[in-house]
Amino acid sequence: MRIDQTHRKWIWGSVIGLIVATAVYIPYDRLTMGGAHGGTVLGIIYGSVGFAFMIFAGLLSLRKKKPVWRMGRTSTWMRGHIWLGLIAYPLILFHAGFSFGKGTLTLWMMILFTIVIVSGIIGAIFQHYMPRMMTQQVPMETIYAEIPRIRGQLLDEADTKVAEVTGVSMSQSAMAAANSQTGGVIVTLVQMEDEVRNELTEFYDKELRPYLEQDGAHGCAIADRSISAESFRNLKTLLPDVVHPVVNDLESICEEKRELDHQTRMHRVLHGWLFVHIPLSLALLVMGAIHAIVALQY
């Protein structure tokens, strides 16, 4: 979610709330014997409000899983998740008197909370900037779930292109499709010397096809745009001019695969932080509930 004008009320509400909480905390901390701590009335209030904000932020996952529930818009929940979750951190610090606690439970709670907040901030930055970066850097951006299918189509298209110029046996329907795609320019096996044909098949089998087959680059030199351009230039010098349009098509297929890989990497960065943020957030809520129950008992 981009942080735009729709967040203005949430931002101002969070800032004002934090100012009020800070204004109350300063005299409270100075006038309380031994300083602020969670066992005082104000300490309990700070902790209760902060934990309530944490629970609200944690309920976002449930709201996303139940989109048909009439519980407000998901976008509103997302804004609340960001800003109430963020302000919960200083409230919990006020609750604890800026201490990470003396017990193991409270210590690990604060460590987890810090990690959750930092990962959330990083995630918010990613969500704000990366969609625009993806649009700029991946002109042929496609639906992420469709990438494996499109990669398969590129491989099939490349196989067809190479078959056209190497004379590999093809079905009549495949040959007709290839013929229509290239405007009828077909170079048969007879029209190419074995050494020339082998240059293309060797490049395709060892460099291009392995790159098109796999998800990502995984050590393929051709994944680098400059190396790829040089490789295709060298290939053209070895092949007759009539084959160059097919080589250009193969280079375009390689470039499209490169963009798919780039989109995949950016998508994983955009969502990878959730594998840290979500489980630690759930663990934090469970530990917070245990902490509240133990504190009320004693």
pLDDT tens for each residue of 244-282? 989 999 999 999 999 999 899 888 888 888 888 989 999
> Measured between alpha carbons, how far is 191 from 220 in angstroms, rounded to an integer?
31
DSSP-assigned letters across all residues of 215-258: SS-TT-GGGSHHHHHHHHHHHHHHS-GGGHHHHHHHHHHHHHHH
pLDDT for residue 42: 94
- Residue whose C-alpha is closest to residue 186's, from 205, 168, 208: 168
- Phi, then psi, of 69 in degrees rounded to 5: -70, 135
pLDDT for residue 157: 93
5 three-state secondary structure: helix
Structure tokens at 43: 């300490």
pTM score? 0.73
Tens digit of each residue's pLDDT, the chain (298 residues): 678 888 999 999 999 999 999 999 999 999 998 889 888 999 999 999 999 999 998 887 766 666 555 666 778 888 889 999 999 999 999 999 998 877 788 899 999 999 999 999 999 898 888 878 877 777 777 888 899 999 999 999 999 988 887 765 333 333 444 444 444 444 444 356 667 778 888 899 999 999 999 888 888 899 999 999 999 999 999 888 888 989 999 999 999 999 999 899 888 888 888 888 989 999 999 999 998 888 877 6
Structure tokens at 97: 């008197």
pLDDT for residue 178: 45
Q: Locate tokens 């800070």: which residue?
A: 22
